[in-house]
Amino acid sequence: MPKQTDKELELFFKNARHEQKLTYEELAEKAEMSSRYLKEIENGGRVPSFHKIRKLVRALNVPPEPFRSRLQSCRTGRSI
């Protein structure tokens, strides 16, 4: 069973992609990842790493606030 925060990630990225009317392929290209990987994130098959979250946040041009607690736990010292 996925964790609540993972489910929130799935829904956040899916909703943001839909709001911007982007296909999997368009967002994947913008985020420099495969569309298959993106589909797995949105469908709960993968939990993205800090690096992948950062790429998606930038590609979607959305504020990183929903991910602050998750990103702080990664503690890389880099801001998104």
The residues near 66 (Cβ < 8 Å, ≥ 6 apart) are 8, 12
**9, burial (CB in 10 Å: exposed 0-12, middle 13-18, buried 19+):** buried
pLDDT above 90: residue 79: no
What does pTM read for this prediction? Answer: 0.76
The residues near 45 (Cβ < 8 Å, ≥ 6 apart) are 39
Which is it for the CA torsion 78, 6, 2, 29, positive or negative? negative
pLDDT digits 0-9 by tens, 12-56 = 899 999 999 999 999 999 999 999 999 999 998 888 888 999 899
**How long a stretch of residues is the chain?**
80
